[in-house]
Each structure stands twice: as C-alpha cells, then as structure tokens.
Amino acid sequence: MQVLVVDDHPMVRTGLATLLSAMDPNVAVTSVGTWGEAAAHSGTPFHAVLLDLRLPDADGLATLGAAYAAFPGVPIIVVSADDDPALARAAIEAGASGFFPKRNDDREIVTALRTVLDNGIYLPADVIEAAVPTASVAAASATLTLTERQLAVARLAIHGKPNKVISRELGIAEGTVKSHLSTVFRVLGVRNRTEAVYALARVGLHRPY
C-alpha cells in the first residue's frame, strides 16, 4: 500500500518513512515537503495521507480542505506539533479522518500509525476526552452492539468514500451500506461526521483493530 507523507521538516519525513516501513514492509512511502508537491500526486491511490498543517506554501486548515478535495476517499490524517484539542476538532471538521500530535512516546505513535494502516480512526485519548467526556458511557455500550462490518462501513464513509465505493470494497450491496451507516450513527448517537469521528475513535480505543 502507498502512503503519502507531507511535512516540511526533512528529518521528520525520513523518520516517519523509516518507522512506517519498519512497521509494515508492504508500505511504500512517498514523502514531500510542500503542498505543491503533494498536490502533484493527486491521482495516486494512496491508502492514507499524513499531513502536517504547517507547510511553507500552505498554512493551516485551508490545506486540509484542499487535501480532502485532492485525494477523495483517502483518509487525511493531520500530524501536528500542536496538540490543542480545539485544533483537533477544527481539523476533523475540515475533513481530517484523524489527528496525531507529534508527541514523544513512540509506542503511542506506533499505535496511531497502526490504526491508520488498518483503516481505523485515530485520535489521542485525551483529545477525545476533552471533546466528549460524557460520551464514554455511550461509546462503551456501543462497543457491545455494533458489528465489525458496521464499523468498517462507518470508517470508510468517514474517510470520504462514497457508498458505491464502500459497497464495492466490502462486497456488499449499496442498500446494506446505507443501512449499516444509519445504524452506526444511531447507536453512537451522533449527528454528523465530526461527532462520528470522535465516537469511532473512542470505540477504537477499546477495540484495537
């Protein structure tokens, strides 16, 4: 599978590429340092895009919108030096499918990357807590009632894949896709994509993929 790493710091690019390859030899990492170079890869079927918001030729959340448009259906994970939960929320709202701050515990990073490689949704636990502390109870019971298939459908939808693509990838009917989606949203008690991201990340905390 192919992963695109966009970060203006060359050391970090090399580090991420090394780690990803060490985690999974099947991963081919393309790393670029500017948004311009990233956009040039627009057609490539990446499995995921790891995007730093601070780039020399594009700054901030506007880059996310552009990435979401340039790589439809591909999960865009924001990798950020800033771990402010408000920034995480803004990123999710702008189309990100995950957020991981450049913290310094390698085990946490490996968990995050593993989640991403497995198509999951990653948010750091404290970011989730900061946003929806009372959802812990709801998510806990959701763990019990949603099937893996339903969760898989939901994750793909969050990544921006249209229902048709989801039905093809998972080998199920489009109608089934829609029904799974509405079930998941109902059970999780979420009303929009952003809330779904948080809820699924929370579910993911307790049900590693």
Partner 1 sequence: MQTPRSDRPPPHDAADTPASSEAFAQLVLGFVAERARLVPIPLLLTVIVSGLLLAREAPVALILVWAALVAATLGLWLAALPRLAADRTRPASHRLHLVALASLANGLAHGALAWLLFAWLDLAGRALVTMVIVGASTGAAAVTTGVPRAFACYAGAALAPLAALWLWSPALPDARLADRAVGGLVLLIGALQWVAARHAHRLLRMAFEHRLRFAEQLDRAEAVSQAKTRFLASVSHDLRQPLHTLTLYVGALRTRTGDAFSADILDKMTRATGALGELLTDLLDYSKIDAGAVQATPRAFDLVALVHEVVADYQPIAAAQGLPLEAQCPPAAPVYGDPLLTRRILANLLDNAIKYTPEGRVDVSVWPGRSRSVLRVDDTGVGIAPDQQERIFEEFYQLDTPQREHTRGLGLGLSIVRRLAELMDYGLKLDSAPGAGTRFSVSLPVAESDTAPRMEPAEAAPSGPATLVPRGLRALVVDDEETVRNAMALLLQDWGWEVMLARDAAVALARMEHVRPDLLLVDFRMAGGDGIELIEQVRARYGPQRILLITGEPLSARLQDARAAGLPILHKPVDGERLRAAIAALLRGEPGGARAASDAT
Q: Please report how close the Cβ of residue 3 comes to partner 1 at its closest, in angstroms.
A: 14
Measured distance CA(151)–CA(133) in Å, rounded? 21
Q: Site for partner 1 (CB under 8 A): which residue of 43, 45, 134, 192? A: 134
Is 45 or 144 the residue whose CB approaches partner 1 more closely?
144
Q: Site for partner 1 (CB under 8 A): which residue of 26, 42, 44, 141? A: 141
Which residues are CB-contacts of 49 (< 8 A; sequence separation ≥ 6)? 3, 4, 6, 38, 67, 71, 74, 75, 76, 77
Q: What single-letter DSSP state applies at residue 166?
A: H
Q: Site for partner 1 (CB under 8 A): which residue of 26, 42, 136, 147? A: 136
Is 17 or 96 the residue whose CB approaches partner 1 more closely?
17
Q: Quick one: which segment of 6-14, 38-46, 69-77, 175-183 binds partner 1 (CB under 8 A)?
A: 6-14
x/- mask, partner 1, residues 71-110, rule CB under 8 A, reads: ----------x--------------------xxxxxx-xx
Which residues are CB-contacts of 158 (< 8 A; sequence separation ≥ 6)? 75, 97, 121, 193, 196, 197, 200
Number of C-beta neighbours around residue 20 at 10 A? 23
Q: At what angle do helices 61-70 and 85-93 cross, to 10 degrees?
A: 30
Q: Which residues bind partner 1 (CB under 8 A)?
A: 9, 11-12, 14-16, 18-19, 21-23, 81, 102-107, 109-110, 130, 133-134, 136-137, 140-141, 143-144, 206-208
